[in-house]
Structure 1
Amino acid sequence: MKTLTLLRHAKSSWEDPVARDFDRPLNAKGQRAAVAVGRHLRSEAMRFDHVVASPAARIVETVEQLEQGYGSELAPAWDRRIYLASASSLLDVIHELPAGAERALLIGHNPGLEDLILMLIPDRAGDALRDSVEEKFPTAALAVMTFEVSDWHAVRADGGTLVRFTRPRDLDPALGPNRD
């Protein structure tokens, strides 16, 4: 069995006058949310054999803050293909994950991450976790999926089980929408 955790970058700043979207940093709320998510990963004893992430500034900063809360280095492989990737491009990245990695973490952007989850998890009536993702996959949200496969290349549409969906506001109400 393979376990894939997806993390959307934390909330970025639109007030910072950067020339390129790629260079946008996190805002203060995003920094707090990333630390809180890192603490959550640590409290749930979540471990990863392989981490792959977009090299965009807001993701690099998300990783730094996440590590602060997690208490351990994640040492991601930076992959430019993840930057604003579609669900199908992200699936290509997943297919290339190391065969020996049982638990992988992919850190990226929306709408690709949300679309990927909706592609990999069957749409079944009464699936509250999937319905929540479909409603909104907010910044700094985590989704954990399992796949009954022995190789990442075998991960397919409708082939996973969504076992956990955590939003920053689930960890701290002050990190919810419209809160600064």
Structure 2
Amino acid sequence: MTRTLILTRHAKSSWDTPGQPDHERPLNKRGRASAEAIGRWLDAKGLRPDLVLCSAAVRTRETWDRMKLEAGEERFTDLLYHVTANQMLRALNAAQGRTVLMLGHNPGLADFAASLVAEPPEHARFEDYPTGATLVLDFDTDDWKRVAWHMGQVREFVLPRELLED
């Protein structure tokens, strides 16, 4: 049995309020449109998470909300706010369900994605993992506890910009 991970970086955030704490920054107009586009794309592909593990920052929560997907369970935690790839792997290893969506921040998210893939996708922006970037990985395992580095098989990698170009 396989497990599927959807790994999304928060959409573009607003810098309109000088002095606003980083944790409290919302999405800007482009970010809102991007989050909605990613949600439509995932829904069209039938990718609906059993579990969402999301940073508690405003911009990640708003990204998830604007994706307009249903999930079996949602967990918002500061344990995914600006964390390392190793910390993200520990969170994933404790997950339940067949499909998990993780929503977080760079640089940890980009490092996590690069460390999970057996072979990176042929995409010019994979390494820097820009805002809204979404990676879909399959793991040949029946338990998230068994997921380790370089086990993920890339199914999809997309940027919101590619979805909004139409």
TM over 0.5: yes
Q: Secondary structure at the match of 1:76?
A: strand
CA shift digits 1:71-115 (9 cap, x unpaired): x467521121100111011001001102xx011101111111110
- Misfit runs of 4+, over 3 Å: 72-75
5+ long unaligned stretches in structure 2: none
Q: Which residue of 2 aligns with 1:178?
A: none
Number of the residue aligned with 2:105: 109
CA–CA distance in structure 1, aligned partners of residues 62 and 73 of structure 2: 13
Match of 1:167 in 2: 159
Q: What letter matches 1:128 in structure 2?
A: E
Retained in 2: the 8 A contact 1:13–1:26?
Answer: yes
Contact in 1 for aligned 2:119/2:153 (Cα 8 Å): no
Which one has the bigger helix percentage? 1
Structure 1, unpaired ranges of 5+: 175-180
C-alpha contact 2:119 2:154 (8 A) present in aligned 1 = no
What is the CA-CA distance between 1:122 and the residue it aligns to? 2.9
Q: TM-score, normalised by structure 1?
A: 0.84
Equivalent in the alignment of 2:131: 139
CA offsets 1:118-158 (integer angstroms, 9 cap, x no match): 1111357xx515x6412x31111110111111111111111
Give 1:76's aligned residue.
74
Q: What secondary structure sits across from 2:63 in the alignment?
A: helix
- Please tell me whether Structure 1 or Structure 2 has the larger radius of gyration of its CA atoms: 1
Could you tell me the percent identity over the aligned residues?
34
Offset, 1:173 = 2.3
CA-CA distance at 1:117 after TM superposition: 1.1
The answer as to 2:101 corresponding to 1:122 is no
Deviations 1:27-67 (A, max 9, x none): 11101111111111121121111111001011111122111
Seen in structure 2, the aligned counterparts of structure 1 residues 169 and 74 have a Cα distance that, compared at 3 Å, is farther
Kept after mapping to 2: 8 A contact 1:24/1:58: yes
Q: CA RMSD in A?
A: 1.8
